[in-house]
Amino acid sequence: MPRIPYFDMEQATPEYRDMLKGRYNLNLYRMLPHATTIAPGFLRMGGAILRESEIDPQLREIAILRVGILSKASYEVHQHKRVARKVGLSDPKIAALENDPQSAVFSPLEKLVIRYTDEVVANVKASDALFDELLAQLDHRRMAELTLTIGFYMAVSRFLENFEVEIEPQPPVSDTPVKYSAN
């Protein structure tokens, strides 16, 4: 049970409800509007990370899942396992992110992304050696986007865990987003 009630979506701003059009009816979206003026920016940034970033989607999901795992954010891990599978991340890789993050199932670049994510989550700033090693594989844009992705999903995980947002009882219907009213 969440620590505070989910927001009455009829009371959400028209801007926020409009931004939810075409999205799944997730409990996260029902908790966010308590942060009335911040919620729209949150949705825009999350959308940009998922749909406009130059990071390879599998690398992105490796970083997001690893953040969720390290943050002990069950909701985040649950939701992004689905997203990871949708972008082609294999079940053995998804499992190894929890149990053996330096497993042979990962490519050298994937291992670097995992190590970088781990250091940023644990220490805020990655070591110069690791930063430089990863920067040799990613251009400046991808390096910046990866770092922002890690930071954003650290915030998401902390929001979810502190408000105890519940995993939805039914998974979202495959590709049928919920229609939100913009009244």
Distance CA 9, CA 59 (A): 34
Mean pLDDT for the stretch of residues 88-107: 95
Chain segment 135-181, per-residue pLDDT in tens: 999 999 999 999 999 999 999 999 999 999 999 986 555 444 443 33
Angle, in degrees to the nearest 10, between helices 108-123 and 128-135: 140
pLDDT for res 132: 98
pLDDT for res 24: 84
Chain segment 2-47, per-residue pLDDT in tens: 999 999 999 999 999 999 998 888 999 999 999 999 999 999 999 9
Distance CA 168, CA 51 (A): 23
Tokens of 44: 């825009």
Chain segment 35-46, per-residue pLDDT in tens: 999 999 999 999
pLDDT for res 22: 85
First to last CA, the chain: 28
Q: Where are the alpha helices (DSSP H) in the chain?
A: 14-19, 27-31, 39-51, 57-70, 74-86, 91-99, 108-123, 128-135, 140-163
**Domain range annotation of the chain:** 8-52, 55-168
The residues, ordered by sequence, that sit 6+ positions from 30 with a Cβ below 8 Å of its Cβ are 6, 7, 9
pLDDT at 183 over 50: no
Superfamily of domain 55-168 in the CATH hierarchy: AhpD-like (1.20.1290.10)
pTM comes to: 0.90
